Amino acid sequence: ESGERKAKVEKMFGFMDAFLKNDSFSLQKDILDHVEYTVARSRFIFDDFEAYQGLSYSVRDRLIERWHDTHRYFKKKDPKRLYFLSLEFLMGRSLSNSVINLGIRDQYADALNQLGFEFEVVAEQEGDAALGNGGLARLCACQMDSLATLDYPAWGYGLRYQYGLFRQIILDGFQLEEPDYWLNFGNPWEIERVHVSYPVKFYGTVEEEGIQGQTIKVWIPGETVEAVAYDNPIPGYGTRNAINLRLWAAKPSDQYDMESYNTGDYINAIMDRQKAETISNVLYPDDRSYQVALQINDTHPSLAIAEVMRVLVDEEHLDWSRAWDITSRVFSFTTHTVHVEALEKIPVDLLGNLLPRHLQIIYEINYKFMEELKSMIGQDYDRLSRMSIVEEGAVKSIRMANLSIVCCQIVNGVSKVHLDLLKERVFKDFYELWPQKFQYKTNGVTQRRWVVVSNPNLSSLISKWLGTESWIRNVDLLAGLRQHVSDPDLQREWKMVKKVNKARLAEYIETLSGIKVSLDAMFDVQIKRIHEYKRQLLNILGIIHRYDCIKNMETSDRRKVVPRVCIIGGKAAPGYDIAKKIIKLCHVVAEKINNDADIGDLLKLVFIPDYNVSVAELVIPGSDLSQHLSTAGHEASGTGSMKFLMNGCLLLATADGAIVEIMEEVGADNMFLFGAKVNEVPALREKGASLKAPLQFLRVVRMVRDGYFGFKDYFKSLCDTLEDGKDFYLLGYDFASYLEAQAAADRTFVDPEKWIHMSILSTAGSGKFSSDKTIEEYAKHTWGIEPCKCPF
């Protein structure tokens, strides 16, 4: 038999051409073959989109090849593996990133050229995979890139939502939401694994059974849904390794409701089956801090704790303490918020109905934890009830964060300040109990996506001046730019790159909005989810103030004004009323300013609709200044700032989240900082109404309130949030120092040499904020995994 098998293997090898070839002829042939046989268009006539499809399938073949080799190698070496669970992965586009990581971008560009297509144009055909809300989800995508590049044996696990995050449509300045049918035109980057599927059970009852003198719990589920795997290969850069992001889709189970089929209720049975698929239909468009019930965020996969316990105890029949020992060793938990009210809670009624056995297990974990806690701290009932996994009250709920902390040996924050806040506020009780559990890993972003893919000109420039491309894998080398910072040649070339990127962005703005912007103006950008704590409103009020000042200036003084193009972009959660009003305010203010001929190029305001990863890739390289305005103590990290920093954009920011560490790396004098500090904020809030806002602030708020921009009634509730004593996010208090920071940015901008100097130092100081660094820290200090590099 083994002889037969051997013959078969030999025969198979005979069919193979070793690895796929990457010369121009082979690539062209591959693309054409896919156009003809996979896409089923004629190789003689196909358009840009079909070229994109043919190209992508050809890239995918190369990904699969590496993916197979990597997994065969992992299997052989059998290292400790990491399984990275997240409900959100915001991957964006795959084409450019893949060919760059595979090291064959230029070859593909050349092959396409020979076929009469342009790589950039073809790449624009791809839609975004927007399976996430914002920073938390994009962080996971960056970390997957780093895990692959650094050769870690890792798997990502998430959900394959039928619809991505909603599309933002702006109609008359109002945000409307439309479904994102991202799968409608197919997705060449995934591989459906119909055979990799697992039953996922819901509802039903838990019964007790006696087996060999022992009673065990048996869950009799009421419904079963099938989870089917879709694999997305993630290639590393400069390595053969390609790891897997496995996303699950819900499908009706074959065994589903057999009863109804037999009783003849065929049509209803079919309708019921469709319900199963809705589980992975929509990504919940959520944002923290105003949710009350079930919320999707960083603690959400924490139900996995109860599931692993269930499998070990109920299915593998381990005793509880052994099962708990294993579970608490394998899980680690990263929290991404500073907002106590945003910590996820699941109502007991809901959980008991949906997953009755899991609820029992959580109760058991809590019972044991409470006993242990009593033995340590005694009968301090206030503290016991604060730390309990079960929250009593009107709606009895499970505190998922408490469950995660109790279970995991390490709880990570995402920045230094964030850890401090976890210790002092969010998880104070737990920190006092288990100080050794609490750590932080500074978030990071991948320089592959955020410089090499999105800013190729800057990327080449950096490589040229460093004399190597190694910084793409070894980001510490970026610091080497410091030694050339005063070189006039570098400064000139640096400026040129920025200009080209600004021109590209200006073109985009004109296509979008018809607004022509001057390339000599400062491009000032704030792009991120719209949230009160992120204070886009502060930005808009600052713009109104600027407009008002210019209007009241003598003509001679106007010559000194630094022209600005203010760019704002971001989505508001569909149910977040105030955030939606901020978007509308931005539009009415823009309408007024942009149509005021008297202002001309001195000030423009542009709202970029439907902000997503690929929009960010275009906007960031083209911006001069970026704003990060969160009220200190509210942004756990903030990773947008890191992308701007790497691209040499100067930051105007509060000392919050990651900014505090950025200050340490690039120096406070290379940034424009303002606002109350983290430790001042609580005392300022205490002061309430006695904290008087400055006159300039009152004036601009009054303009909005009095209907200077129209929609007076509509903006009333927004203005009310800024009244003395109600201004929770301290816009009034921070306004004066915000304007000072803005003035400092203006003064620096008119000194181009100084500006470029600061810009180069920003990129040079951005090395610490690569996700490669974050992943190395996690690998060493949290996961305990080692690289496992597949030989070429």
643 is annotated as an active-site residue: yes
Q: What is the CA radius of gyration of the chain?
A: 28
**Does residue 579 touch ligand GL9 according to CB under 6 A?**
no
Nearest one of 486, 522, 565, 568 to 750, comparing CA atoms: 522
The only residue of 34, 89, 92, 134 in contact with ligand GL9, by rule CB under 6 A: 134
In angstroms, the CA 496 to CA 506 distance is 15
Q: CB-based contacts of 664: which residues, under 8 Å, 6+ apart?
A: none
**Does residue 133 touch ligand GL9 according to CB under 6 A?**
yes
The only residue of 151, 287, 524, 734 in contact with ligand GL9, by rule CB under 6 A: 287
Continuous H helices in 438-525: 447, 456-466, 488-513
CB of 303 to ligand GL9, least distance (A): 18
CB of 147 to ligand GL9, least distance (A): 16
The only residue of 638, 675, 732, 765 in contact with ligand GL9, by rule CB under 6 A: 638
**Does residue 624 touch ligand GL9 according to CB under 6 A?**
no
Look up tokens 């918020």; give the residue.
Answer: 337
Strand boundaries in 203-334, DSSP class E: 205-211, 214-220, 223-235, 242-252, 333-334
Q: DSSP labels for 218-230?
A: EEE-SEEEEEEEE
- Rounded to 10 deg, the angle between the 577-594 and 712-720 helix axes is 120
**Does residue 584 touch ligand GL9 according to CB under 6 A?**
no
Given 643, 748, 763, 768, which residue is catalytic?
643
- Decide whether 129 or 788 has the Cβ nearer to ligand GL9: 129
Residues 307-336 that bind ligand GL9 (CB under 6 A): 336
CB of 439 to ligand GL9, least distance (A): 14
Binding mask 369-408 for ligand GL9 (x = CB under 6 A): ----------------------------------------
Binding mask 523-562 for ligand GL9 (x = CB under 6 A): ------x---------------------------------
Q: CB-based contacts of 69: which residues, under 8 Å, 6+ apart?
A: 240, 790
Residues contacting ligand GL9: total by CB under 6 A: 20
Do 177 and 147 meet the contact criterion of CB atoms below 8 Å apart? no
- Decide whether 443 or 626 has the Cβ nearer to ligand GL9: 443
Q: What is the DSSP letter of 423?
A: I
Report the 10 Å Cβ neighbour count for 330. 14
- Decide whether 300 or 584 has the Cβ nearer to ligand GL9: 300
687 is annotated as an active-site residue: no
Do 650 and 454 meet the contact criterion of CB atoms below 8 Å apart? no
Strand boundaries in 253-380, DSSP class E: 333-334, 345-347
- Decide whether 300 or 310 has the Cβ nearer to ligand GL9: 300
Q: What is the DSSP letter of 626?
A: E
**Does residue 135 touch ligand GL9 according to CB under 6 A?**
yes
CB of 625 to ligand GL9, least distance (A): 20
Stretch touching ligand GL9 by CB under 6 A, among 133-141, 222-230, 391-399, 742-750: 133-141
- Decide whether 109 or 678 has the Cβ nearer to ligand GL9: 678
**Does residue 657 touch ligand GL9 according to CB under 6 A?**
yes
Residues 435-454 that bind ligand GL9 (CB under 6 A): 443
484 is annotated as an active-site residue: no
Given 534, 580, 768, 773, which residue is catalytic?
534
Report the 10 Å Cβ neighbour count for 329. 11
446 is annotated as an active-site residue: no
Total residues belonging to the chain: 792
The only residue of 97, 143, 187, 337 in contact with ligand GL9, by rule CB under 6 A: 337
Report the 10 Å Cβ neighbour count for 552. 8
**Does residue 773 touch ligand GL9 according to CB under 6 A?**
no
The only residue of 59, 361, 414, 566 in contact with ligand GL9, by rule CB under 6 A: 414
CB of 296 to ligand GL9, least distance (A): 9
Torsion sign (Cα): 34, 39, 41, 46: negative
H or E element that contains 155: strand 154-159
Given 288, 300, 310, 336, which residue is catalytic?
336
528 is annotated as an active-site residue: yes
423 is annotated as an active-site residue: no
**Does residue 299 touch ligand GL9 according to CB under 6 A?**
no
Torsion sign (Cα): 195, 197, 198, 201: negative
In angstroms, the CA 352 to CA 354 distance is 6
**Does residue 636 touch ligand GL9 according to CB under 6 A?**
yes
CB of 145 to ligand GL9, least distance (A): 15
Instruction: Give first-to-last CA distance, the chain, whole Å.
Output: 32
| Six token digits for residue 739 | 């304007």
- Decide whether 247 or 565 has the Cβ nearer to ligand GL9: 247
CB of 168 to ligand GL9, least distance (A): 14
Report the 10 Å Cβ neighbour count for 36. 15
Look up tokens 């009210």; give the residue.
Answer: 341
Please identify every residue annotated as catalytic.
Answer: 336, 528-529, 534, 639, 643
Please give the residue ranges that form the binding site for ligand GL9 (CB under 6 A).
133-137, 139, 287-288, 297, 336-337, 414, 443, 529, 635-639, 657
